[in-house]
Amino acid sequence: MKRVGHFAKGASLRLLSSFCAIAIILASLQVERAQVRSPYDDGAFALGQLLVRLQTTASALHTGAHPDDEDSALIARLARGDGARVAYLALNRGEGGQNIIGPELFETLGVIRTEELLQARRLDGGEQFFTRAFDFGFTKTRAEAAARWGEREILADMVRVIRLFRPLVIIARFTGTPADGHGQHQLAGYLTPLAFRLAADPKAFPEQLAEGLRPWRALKIYVSEGFRRGADPNNRPTLLLDTGRHDELLGRSYFEIAMYGRSQHKSQEMGTLELLGPQTSGVRLLESAAGAGDERSVFDGIDVTIRGIAQLAGIRDARIIERLGVIQDLARRALREFDAMEPRKLIPILAEGLRRTRELRASLRASGESEEAKYEADFLLAQKEAQFSEALWRAAAIRVDALADDETVVAGDRLNVTARVFLSDERAVEIKAIRLRAPAGWRLEEVAPESNALLVASEFEGRETPQHQARFRITVPDGEGPTMPYWLREPRDGDLFRWTSDAPKARPFDAPLVSAEVEAVIGGEPVTITAPVQYRYADPVRGEIRREINVVPMVSVALDPELVIVPTSAQETERRVFVRLSSNASRAVNGRVSLHVPTGWRVEPASAPFALERKGEKGTLVFTVRVPGGARADAYSISAEAEIEGRRFALAEREISYPHIQTHRVYAPAQATFRVFDLKVAPVRVGYIMGSGDRVPEAIRQMGLDVTLLNEDDLAVGDLARFDVIVVGIRASQVRPDFVANNRRLLDYVRQGGTLIVQYQRPDYVERGLAPFPAKMAARVTDENAPVKILVPDHPAFNFPNKITADDWRGWVQERSLYNFTTYDARYVPLLESHDAGEPPQTGGEVYAEIGRGKYVYTSYAWFRQLPAGVPGAYRLFANLLSLAKAPSRVERSRAVKIDSRRFAESQTARVSSSRKLSASAQAGGTR
């Protein structure tokens, strides 16, 4: 067996195409990685599904705006039931939503939701695409979404995906009208028909054609029923697709499969039942070049057989058409003779189908057909070749597994990899070569066989004995940057991500850094089997876990906290900051850390040494930053860097890791922002009930207050009276059953003199009677710059201890408020009014009630976004809410006004008297 330590050697020319289309095809057929293990992609399930796909050239692209917009039952029906190539195009990655499972928001939340979409696609059988759009949050109009993103830019990305994927059918999730609700939904529905037409126009987006893409005209476009069936009388379906049909091969209905996939959207709390029995997905035909009539499938009127490739591509040569028919017969025969108990019987049929497909592709290139016809036919035949090839090695029961000895590697360091081949019948397969594929500039060396220790997951498991294996040592070049999601490598342009020229544009993530390729001969035909190199370990609870290989910096350098609030002061103010160090190196490292501060500021010490002995070791250095007295109100940046052996490291690594997704790392400069502004807060004791994705407790600590996070025992039997104020985190009614169970006790705390501040909740909060008095909620103000009117100007919330002005509502990020009270009991006092342009006033965004001796506030203003972003006005406003427990009472305020009036009158009398004395003295002096 020939073993090759790099990609180029040993590659079979029969597997390469001179057409530039090959790169596009390979990208289109890229298998998405996902942490979830689909039961339908192994063994007889996988082979049976492949044989179904071999029969057809059907393809469909489904469009929507966000993760979870897709009709996943429709995707599962078309992909797993009809054997079609199906993809979902989401305009964005869901960065603007809330996170029900952790603290990540914005870009990092987008990484989680990208992964969750891949989990869903792994199950329902679809592929996944995106545009450059950053989800800036809820909007009510198409115009606002278009203005934030740029209509042309999003349209260009949609056209790119259509030209890349080349679907026969496009299915929009939304209509493009206000009936879609969310403004981003409306824009997705509006742009889909435009993209459908422009993708076929050779004059549209010529820069894409310069990259090698070609125009593509889909034959049909539909729009689905949307989320609320029957809600839009102008969108009645013309075709109902049966998604509740039981699939004998898979043992489940497509709806069941899809709902299992939908439950992977865990950050959105989308877990759902996998319902049995009849289910349908409705679509309405908008336009067709394949005729209309009484449809039973979205592919009716289109010849999606292998022989039909001739008609789709415009092939006229009768000999080519005849050979397509032969390949079609072989595909049908393979499906007909499929025996799950003896799949190897299919090897001769599949090998012949693969050989004839390859021969036809070679003949097609030399034929007299038009270049366009050859391109389109070759595009479809390349898919058939890939499917025949995969079906062949699956029928031969080949397993390729490539394992590295670590999950991460530092630039300049080495990684050991073992690529292994497991065969159930060595007589059916000849292994010709094992090689690795790695980025350009990486050094790959094959090494002599060593002990099997690398392959043992734990001492309790037996050794694995592959029939073939090769070991490699990989050296990562110095200067190799860290691995991170490609769309986050560059700063955003407003609400659009920047794609670099080498990025896999529109794809979920980059391809794996390192892959193993095994060249085998099965039934006389060469095939190449690819598997990503992974790190495998045994979690004591979850069992086997696999992670992809990442390049990481030698040392992660992070400033903590990343945001420091400094009230304006005439005196010098000092703040402690921590530099968190974490070693990724396989050896001991030592160096010095320095902080860089604005001119006129001081830092002690100027620098500090550190030593980290082993990989994974962490260290913390403490610095004191001194802010000069009289520093003007502004945002100031400080940064940290570590110097090791003359090399500088200044990136903070953040790991995004949850059990249901693949681990990812994102990097940002090791910086912190000091926000200096006028801020006062009363010395109150704060208890906090954590909600979801909630960093508000950190912000309260930034104000100089101690915060106690309340657990179940605290809420059930703890002494709540020790707190001046208790704050309830966002969506606590959904994620904290103990909060719901002890809500009555919290209201008793208010009656006895406590202050309870409830941040935004979902409608279940009022529907379950958790609010002290009746209310209904739903409305929101999506424009973060919407004017805000103070309805009770003399209320302490706007006067103590900070005097609130119009400036405090400036500089907000993503939304004013969400889930406001829409109607409410008269015992609530509305404090603020704000509304989006063209809408009626909304007074339920912040309401106040006095209950017994205490105070209750429901505030749906987006504090959970403003406070982590360091918005000064939000801090001042929230500080006043926290200070309500110490605010003067009405009687005290009235008395204070009287005292101030008396003192003012006395001061005026004294001033007049003093003036008279001065005048008399002046006159006396004048006569002398």
Task: Read off the pLDDT of residues 368-396 as tens digits, 9 standing for 90 and up.
Answer: 999 999 999 999 999 999 999 999 999 99
Give the residues across from 624 on adjacent strands.
576, 604
Return d(Cα 13, Cα 647) in angstroms, integer. 44
Question: Concatenated DSSP letters for 470-529?
Answer: EEEEEEPPTTPPPP--GGGSS--BTTB----TTS-TTSSSPPPS-EEEEEEEETTEEEEE
Tell me phi and psi for residue 208, to 5 degrees.
-70, -35
The pair of structure tokens assigned to 745 is 């006790």
**The pair of three-digit structure tokens given for residue 404, joined into one six-digit string:** 């590295």
Predicted confidence (pLDDT) at residue 591 exceeds the cutoff of 50 = yes
pLDDT at 924 over 60: no
Task: Give 301-350 pLDDT, tens digit per residue.
Answer: 999 999 999 999 999 999 999 999 999 999 999 999 999 999 999 999 99
What is the structure's pLDDT at 909? 41
Q: What is the CATH number assigned to the segment(s) 553-677?
A: 2.60.40.10
CATH architecture of 59-295: 3-Layer(aba) Sandwich (3.40)
> Is pLDDT at 913 greater than 50 in this prediction?
no
Say how many C-beta atoms besides its own lie within 10 A of residue 234's C-beta.
8
Q: Is the pLDDT of residue 791 over 90?
A: yes
Residue pair 514/532 in contact by the 8 Å Cβ criterion: yes
**pLDDT at residue 818 greater than cutoff 80:** yes
Those residues whose C-beta lies under 8 Å from the C-beta of residue 700, and which sit 6 or more positions away, are 686, 688, 707, 727, 878, 882
Whether the per-residue pLDDT at 128 is higher than 50: the answer is: yes
Domain 59-295 matches domain 553-677 at the CATH topology level: no
Confidence of residue 234 (pLDDT cuts 50, 70, 90): confident
- State pTM to two decimals: 0.88
Per-residue pLDDT reduced to its tens digit, 502-539: 999 999 999 999 999 999 999 999 999 999 999 999 98
Q: What is the pLDDT of residue 33?
A: 58
How confident is residue 294, by pLDDT bands cut at 50, 70 and 90? confident
Strand-strand pairing, 671-677 and 634-644: antiparallel
How confident is the model at residue 229, as a pLDDT? 75
How confident is the model over 620-668, as pLDDT tens digits? 999 999 999 999 999 999 999 999 999 999 999 999 999 899 999 999 9
Per-residue pLDDT at 426: 87
Please determine, for residue 253, whether its predicted confidence score (pLDDT) is greater than 70. Answer: yes
Domain ranges of the chain: 59-295, 303-386, 396-550, 553-677, 686-887, 891-928
pLDDT at 731 exceeding the cut of 80: yes
**Which is more confident, 277 or 455?**
277
What 8-state DSSP symbol labels residue 781? B
Average pLDDT over residues 412-429: 93
Out of 235-244, 507-516, 585-594, 787-796, pick the least confident: 235-244
Cβ neighbours of residue 179 under 8 Å, at least 6 residues apart? 226, 231, 232, 234, 235
CA distance 494 to 350: 51
> In whole angstroms, how large is the CA radius of gyration of the chain?
33
The answer for residues whose C-beta is within 8 angstroms of residue 214's C-beta and 6 or more apart is 21, 163, 372, 375
Res 896 pLDDT > 50: no
CA–chain centroid gap for 410, Å, is 26
Q: Supply the pLDDT for residue 36.
A: 73
CA-CA distance, 299 to 88, in Å (whole number)?
17
Q: What angle do CA 439, 442, 443 make, to 5 degrees?
A: 140
pLDDT for 285 equals 95
Asked if the model's pLDDT at residue 762 lies above 80, the reply is yes
The pLDDT value recorded for residue 900 is: 40
CA dist 723 → 683, 696, 746, 909 (Å)? 11, 17, 11, 45
pLDDT for 450: 59
Count the alpha carbons within 13 Å of 831 in the hemisphere toward its beta carbon: 21
Judge whether residue 544 has pLDDT over 70: yes
* Confidence grade of residue 458 (pLDDT, cut at 50, 70, 90): very low
Contact 638/576 with Cβ under 8 angstroms? no
Residue 32 has pLDDT above 60, yes or no: no
Average pLDDT value for the chain: 90
Report in angstroms the alpha-carbon separations of 508 from 101, 111, 168, 653, 810. 21, 9, 22, 21, 35
Q: Encode pLDDT of 864-875 as tens digits.
A: 999 999 999 999
Compare 540 and 90 and report the one with higher pLDDT: 90
What number does CATH give the domain 686-887? 3.40.50.880
What angle, rounded to 10 degrees, do the helices at 151-165 and 21-28 form? 100
How does residue 103 score in pLDDT terms, banded at 50, 70 and 90?
A: confident
> Across-strand partners of 661?
none
Which tops the pLDDT comparison, 661 or 29?
A: 661
